[in-house]
Amino acid sequence: MPARSLVEIVDERSKDPQITDRAVYGITKPRLVIFRPKVPNGSAVLVTPGGGYRWVVIDKEGYEIGRWLAARGWTVFVLFYRLPGEGWAAGPDVALADAQRAIRLIRASAERFGIMPERVAAMGFSAGGHVCGDLATRFDRRVYDPVDAADRLSARPDIAAPIYAVQSMTLPVAHPGSRALLIGENAAPEREQAHSPQFNVTSATPPCFLVHAEDDDVVPVENSLAFRAALKGAHVPVETHLFQNGGHGFGLRRVMNKPAEIWPDLFINWARTHGIG
């Protein structure tokens, strides 16, 4: 536990009574919220919502995509992960630890949920996209002590989808808020590289599906472009969709009736080409 005690707080940011937009911080017990389909297609996805490592935005980038994918046969696990700026001993690896553990627990529970352990995807948004990219590139890094038999299973996702993801920790491409909370404002270049997924890509990194809007003024599109270049350099299959408009944090709701609205369908179609979904 951090030196200072944490209290989990849920902040409802929506001004519209018809739409929830909750942000959660002070998380001390990482956990999964599960969306189960009526007819499972055998595939699962771990979803890591964004929030700039300040909080976890559970509706817009968690529950909404969870319901959407579950309606199409996927079993979806939305992760409440611990935040690196809240004083955990694992520091910048604390969210990665929670994501690794989550993938292993999903595989350990495969029979219970009607999924196949070799069909487990990861999807993350914004800072949660950094968690996803970190998981895709450092899935085998030991960042926590084993808890039970599940920790003998692989934490490698079979495919990964970092969506408008924070990726680089080097300014000016880095998202300043995420960078400060993850590695500190005065981090050395070596620390920046250690926590930028582009520098951790190997041939073992799973196939990746990238989405970004060119007009994103929060997390520059160069984050996804740099990650794509690293994946290509390592001969890792990658599909990239860049949209002219969408801004940042669009999830599902903010691109309705815009070209970027099709990104979830593109993901499903791409996943099928890798035998998932």
Domain ranges of the chain: 31-273
Q: With contact defined as beta carbons under 8 Å apart, do 117 and 133 qualify? A: no
CB 84 within 8 A of CB 94: yes
Reported in sequence order, the residue ranges of 26-175 that DSSP labels E, i.e. its strands, are: 31-35, 44-48, 56-57, 75-80, 120-125, 159-163
pLDDT exceeds 90 at position 41: yes
Q: What is the pLDDT of residue 257?
A: 86
Q: Which CATH superfamily is domain 31-273 in?
A: Alpha/Beta hydrolase fold, catalytic domain (3.40.50.1820)
- Is the pLDDT at 254 greater than 90? The verdict is no
Residue 189 has pLDDT above 90, yes or no: yes
Band of pLDDT at residue 248, cut at 50, 70 and 90? very high
CA distance 81 to 134: 13
Burial class of 200 by CB neighbour count within 10 A (0 to 12, 13 to 18, 19+) = middle
Query: Is 30 within 8 Å of 24 (Cβ atoms)?
Result: no
Q: How does pLDDT run across 113-155, given as a tens digit for each residue?
A: 999 999 999 999 999 999 999 999 999 999 999 999 999 999 9
At residue 230, the pLDDT reads: 98
Task: Give the tens place of pLDDT for each residue, 5-34.
Answer: 899 999 888 888 888 989 999 999 999 999
In this predicted structure, the answer to whether residue 1 has a pLDDT above a threshold of 80 is no
Residues 6+ apart with CB under 8 A from 257: none
Q: For position 5, what pLDDT does the model report?
A: 86
* Tokens, residue 110: 């495969």
Q: What is the pLDDT of residues 201-221, one digit of tens each?
A: 999 999 999 999 999 999 999
